[in-house]
Chains A and B, each alone.
Chain A
């Protein structure tokens, strides 16, 4: 695992120059740099809040704290890209993009890559789990089938 040392705000801004970091989402990216996937959660009623917002839509509590997720979920919906927006890019096999419904809460979905699975084997409601892949010298979240989960 990569070790960035103590990750202060300035470092988070340096690590994610393309991201519009705010005080509501910076903990998510600070955690990503430590290979942890965290989602904001209500400290009063426990509701998971995503995208990252500063108030709980269920109880209006402002006690919102990022919390690490279990990493388990299912594929709610997905598409296979046969053509990318960048006309210069050529892809050898279709690229999956999947909205993973996290086990923590119904409707709580995180958009991600699906890895360690042939594109034609991806299915709706397939159980998946969090893993990490290196892209552009950074570790990013991805999801892979849960072994035995398809049986």
Chain B
């Protein structure tokens, strides 16, 4: 086991989500503020109790967006002793780490997402979305006409890895199909989901080809939305109105190959495997204890990577594993006969939030407040958010 002083010492006490929509005609900051206010109210704390903020985006200032400085000013929070912007799996982990380390006592995480102009024709015709692209910044060169840098921060290498995975293991697309159908089935039961219609395995295989072998149903749905979380100490959490959801263990993951995706290491050496090992080196809860599993589904190949990285099955065997853990009555996965997967519909059905909505759903399920969608007796949730290449998280949440 690794050194692990944070075990169960911090908790999620507030969750806030905006509506999800294709075109909400709002700014990143407006969405982020709605989620933030909702999460702080849900936590039952005064806003001045927030003394740390993780905002959205990849650069420190992120002006015009929902960066931590803009959020602090807009929310009227007087003093923060900690602040950063982040995304994907990292944002939540950074905030939890800051509380655990004592850099702040109550951290607010805000993650905003918008449908970008390169994601659809109508989005590209919207001047508000085009100007976002003009001022977007991932901190570096995105290629600038050099084809060799095309895969810096690109989705295409996920398609290439999907093809290489199928080639190396001699498998078809079953694993991806089951994951897509599972998420759409759950989405059809979630009134917040942008995609309300369930799909069949046949629908999946017949869907439009985008980047061979990746099809449209392998890709999350671009939407406008925001999610926010309030994280504080376990001690403080016990005085607050909601049932505390504790962070039992968590890990990020990085490999020596990061920013040039084509140079990534092998399938079982990518960042998800590093994060998963980091978690298992710290968690006292094991896979058999997991009641709910939340693998990030920016692309289905990402979710399949998470399934294999955390050890539900051996590398290359996800197709067989998911097939044999399929519940045909509900058209959903029940891993080892019971563990439900992405109960909110994930990015494939609820909508694209960079994985932030997986944390929100896990917390609400562990609180036991999901009503008709509540999974009975859910105590432990495993969440894996992020990319093969960067910012992957592995997080074990638990409730009493």
Contact = CB atoms under 8 A, between A and B. Distances in A.
Interface of A: 16-20, 50-51, 57, 76-83, 85-88, 94, 97-99, 107-113, 124, 136, 140-141
B260 A51 contact: yes
A98 B143 CA distance: 16
A23 to B, nearest CB: 14
B260 A50 contact: yes
A110 B144 contact: no
A6 to B, nearest CB: 22
A77 B137 CA distance: 28
Contacts of A88: 124
Interface of B: 118, 120-121, 124, 140-141, 143-151, 156-157, 159-161, 163-164, 167, 208-214, 256-257, 259-260, 262-263, 265
A54 B309 CA distance: 33
Contact of B121 (A82, A87, A141): A87
Contacts of A108: 263
29 contacts: A18-B144, A18-B146, A19-B141, A19-B144, A19-B146, A76-B164, A77-B157, A77-B160, A77-B161, A77-B262, A79-B156, A79-B211, A80-B211, A81-B156, A81-B210, A82-B210, A82-B211, A87-B121, A97-B147, A99-B160, A107-B263, A108-B263, A110-B148, A111-B147, A111-B148, A111-B149, A112-B147, A124-B167, A140-B147
**B-side binding surface: helix, strand, loop or mixed?**
mixed
B157 to A, nearest CB: 7
Contact of A111 (B144, B150, B209): B150
B259 to A, nearest CB: 7
**A-side binding surface: helix, strand, loop or mixed?**
loop
A38 B248 CA distance: 48
B260 A87 contact: no
Q: Report the 10 A-B pairs with minimum CB-CB distance, sorted nearest first.
A: A18-B144, A20-B141, A99-B262, A79-B159, A77-B160, A80-B212, A85-B118, A87-B121, A77-B164, A18-B145
A78 B145 contact: no
A20 B211 contact: no
A111 B148 CA distance: 5
Nearest to B125: A87
A51 B263 contact: yes
Given A77-B161, A82-B209, A124-B167, A20 B144 contact: yes
Contacts of A50: 260, 263
Interface centre among A77, A78, A81 (most CB of B within 10 A): A77
Contact of B156 (A97, A107, A110, A140): A97
Nearest to B262: A99
